[in-house]
């Protein structure tokens, strides 16, 4: 028996050695033997190329011959006009809903057709996700461009090697469970390809919700991770999506629809123009049509998309799922499962921390949420996601307010290593001691969600976290403090500094030459640093621009007086006639046309 066992052991040994030899040549140059684990980016919503296909599986092309993206919808103006024009005209002439709202629903079904899911939560449209099932080193130039455009990690690739960088592309409107499973398998693939037994993951925005599912459904994956670097992660969805699923939409209030809603989303004069035009319909007809279209989006499109359910905050889910999924048991089974993952998000992240996985979080704050849903101002935000979602339950004041002079740091997290830490932001807006990871969460003041990747300090921080062990927490170096701010120095780097340096200073007065040199020095110091305060970039830019203007290198910026005609007309209508359509009040159409003509001719 002993002999048998030793034979077996010997055999096992030989076999193991054989496998080691056989696998010794991995795709990564280091063969898994280096200090930097490969990193996998799990991007945000719409940050993967998903192409629309025709029924034969060929790419759909636009008039210029370019492939058509499925995100967020495939908009074919011709087909929209053909569906909506006649009902819109009849509705206009009769001032009654003569099929307009039905036509709008048809348009909704049409533009979202490719993103529709069935009652099992599976996609029914024809599309192709552009996936990169290999490291960036093996990507084509075109593919590298797509990836670096979404997240410019070239410096990381330089340090760690492009064979240590992977990009997990997925369909933002796909099936949540399937995509989580794909990510789990992708991680196993990266381990096998590189020879590393651990990887880093970088869940960005919607990627944070995928990570929630990953840790809940595949807890064994925690053994595969060295670091998790979250960037603006939607760990508890976004209140915008919660408001969408509970139909708590701001424009259902007609007063707001005609005065305020559009202004928050676009240029005021454009918004006011749409408001004036919208008044060619009675307000009841218009709001009925909008409500029906919204119902159609929520009930027929959004309620079947489990990836979108992944962005519904846990506080909204019970009400939303009861209302929308009562007759869709399979989708509800899947979203219930995800709801658990969301409820367990903090607990699972704590398990990672306890296991020794280094978890970092980079978030933005103090940017008002897009005003789509009525919850927009319930919490601080980065424009798209509320702060307590990205910052793991953190307590903060809403945008424009502070915690108050008497506020005392609450220290509710078990993960602060030192009770003497000051985790309150310099602007007294955020109490970082109340988030799950006070010592490992980096906050960027006034930084908007969508421009996060253009903040070079954020990209530099992510690079240092992933490729080195130099930054262990928010106290490691003043270069990467807990509280930092918005920036995007591209104009300084590409335009203003080169322009200023090209000036022949010998031709200037001593005073101007000194100011120019000082402004350049300040600008370069800003560009080369990674820590700043809110508004600093503007100060630096303005100083440089001012001296360039003074010495005649730059034209002074002439602020063109913008037209305010539609703003005046829209506000006049609102003040005098509330939300009425212009045909509802006798003689009003003539007055409005008169005002517009006068305004256009005699401005
Ligand atoms: Zn390596
Ligand atoms: Zn602390």
Ligand 1 centre distance from Cα of residue 585 (Å): 73
What pLDDT is stored for residue 265 in this prediction?
85
What pLDDT is stored for residue 266 in this prediction?
87
Question: Which residues of the chain have a pLDDT value below 70?
Answer: 1-25, 603
Q: Which residues pair with 52 in a beta bridge?
A: 127
Give the closest ligand to the alpha carbon of residue 413: 2
- CA 150 from centre of chain: 11
What pLDDT is stored for residue 6 in this prediction?
54
Ligand 2 centre distance from Cα of residue 471 (Å): 15
- CA 553 from centre of chain: 38
Ligand 2 centre distance from Cα of residue 433 (Å): 7
Ligand 1 centre distance from Cα of residue 195 (Å): 8
Handedness of CA 385, 390, 391, 395 (dihedral sign): positive
> Dihedral of the CA atoms 5, 11, 14, 18 (nearest 10)?
-140
Give the closest ligand to the alpha carbon of residue 226: 1
Give the closest ligand to the alpha carbon of residue 423: 2
Residue (of 184, 156, 187) closest to 40 by Cα position: 187
What number of other Cβ atoms are within 10 A of residue 201's Cβ? Answer: 30
What pLDDT is stored for residue 527 in this prediction?
98
- CA 321 from centre of chain: 24
Give the closest ligand to the alpha carbon of residue 467: 1
What pLDDT is stored for residue 21 in this prediction?
40
Give the closest ligand to the alpha carbon of residue 135: 1
What pLDDT is stored for residue 1 in this prediction?
46
What pLDDT is stored for residue 16 in this prediction?
47
Ligand 2 centre distance from Cα of residue 444 (Å): 17
For 328, the 3-state DSSP assignment is coil
Ligand 2 centre distance from Cα of residue 416 (Å): 4
Neighbours of ion ligand 2 (CB under 5 A): 416, 421, 438-439
What pLDDT is stored for residue 355 in this prediction?
98
What pLDDT is stored for residue 172 in this prediction?
98
What pLDDT is stored for residue 23 in this prediction?
46
């Amino acid at each position: 028996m002993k002999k048998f066992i030793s034979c077996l052991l010997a055999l096992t040994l030989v076999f193991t050695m054989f496998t080691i030899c056989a696998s010794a040549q991995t795709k990564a140059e280091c063969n898994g033997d280096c200090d930097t684990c490969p990193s996998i980016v799990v991007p945000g919503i719409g940050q993967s190329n998903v192409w629309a296909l025709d029924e034969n599986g060929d790419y759909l092309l636009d008039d210029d011959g370019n492939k058509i993206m499925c995100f967020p919808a495939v908009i074919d103006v011709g087909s929209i006009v053909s569906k909506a024009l006649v009902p819109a005209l009849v509705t206009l002439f009769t001032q009654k809903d003569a099929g307009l709202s039905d036509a709008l629903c048809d348009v909704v079904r049409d533009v979202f057709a490719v993103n529709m899911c069935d009652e099992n939560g599976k996609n029914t449209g024809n599309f192709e996700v552009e996936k990169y099932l290999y490291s960036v080193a093996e990507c084509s130039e075109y593919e590298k461009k797509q990836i670096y455009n979404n997240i410019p990690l070239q410096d990381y690739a330089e340090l760690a090697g492009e064979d240590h960088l992977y990009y997990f592309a997925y369909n933002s409107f796909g099936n949540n469970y399937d995509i989580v499973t794909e990510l789990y398998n992708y991680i196993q693939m990266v381990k096998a390809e590189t020879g590393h037994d651990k990887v880093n993951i970088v869940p960005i925005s919607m990627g944070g919700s995928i990570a929630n599912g990953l840790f809940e459904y595949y807890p064994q994956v925690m053994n595969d991770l060295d670091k998790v670097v979250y960037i603006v992660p939607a760990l508890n969805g976004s209140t915008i999506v919660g408001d969408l699923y509970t139909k708590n939409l701001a424009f259902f209030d007609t007063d707001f629809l005609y005065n305020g809603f559009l202004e928050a989303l676009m240029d005021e004069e454009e918004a006011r123009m749409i408001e004036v035009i919208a008044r060619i319909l009675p307000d009841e007809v218009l709001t009925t049509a909008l409500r029906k279209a919204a119902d159609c989006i929520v009930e027929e499109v959004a309620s079947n998309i489990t990836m979108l359910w992944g962005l519904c905050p846990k506080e909204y889910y019970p009400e939303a799922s009861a209302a929308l999924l009562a007759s869709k048991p399979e989708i509800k089974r899947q979203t219930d499962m995800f709801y658990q993952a969301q409820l367990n998000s903090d607990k699972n992240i704590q398990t990672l921390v306890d296991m020794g996985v280094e978890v970092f979080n980079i978030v933005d704050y103090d940017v008002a949420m897009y005003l789509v849903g009525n919850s927009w101002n319930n919490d601080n935000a980065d424009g798209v996601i509320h702060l307590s979602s990205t910052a793991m339950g953190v307590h903060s004041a809403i945008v424009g307010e502070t915690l108050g002079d008497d506020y005392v740091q609450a220290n509710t997290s078990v993960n602060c290593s030192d009770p003497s830490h000051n985790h309150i932001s310099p602007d007294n807006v955020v109490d970082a001691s109340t988030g799950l990871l006070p010592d490992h969460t980096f906050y960027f003041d006034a930084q908007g969600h969508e421009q996060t990747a253009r903040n070079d300090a954020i990209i530099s921080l992510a690079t240092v976290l992933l490729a080195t062990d130099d930054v262990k927490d928010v106290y490691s170096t003043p270069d990467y403090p807990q509280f930092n701010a918005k920036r995007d120095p591209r104009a300084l780097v590409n335009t203003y500094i080169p322009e200023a340096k090209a000036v022949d200073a010998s031709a200037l007065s001593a005073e101007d030459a000194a100011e120019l040199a000082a402004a350049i020095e300040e600008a370069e110091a800003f560009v080369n640093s990674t820590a700043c305060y809110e508004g600093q970039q503007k100060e630096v830019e303005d100083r440089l621009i001012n001296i360039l203007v003074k010495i005649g290198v730059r034209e002074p910026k002439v602020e063109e007086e913008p037209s305010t005609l539609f703003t005046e007309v829209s506000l006049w209508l609102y003040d005098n006639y509330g939300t009425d359509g212009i045909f509802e009040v006798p003689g009003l159409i003539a007055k409005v046309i008169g005002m517009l003509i006068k305004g256009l001719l005699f401005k």
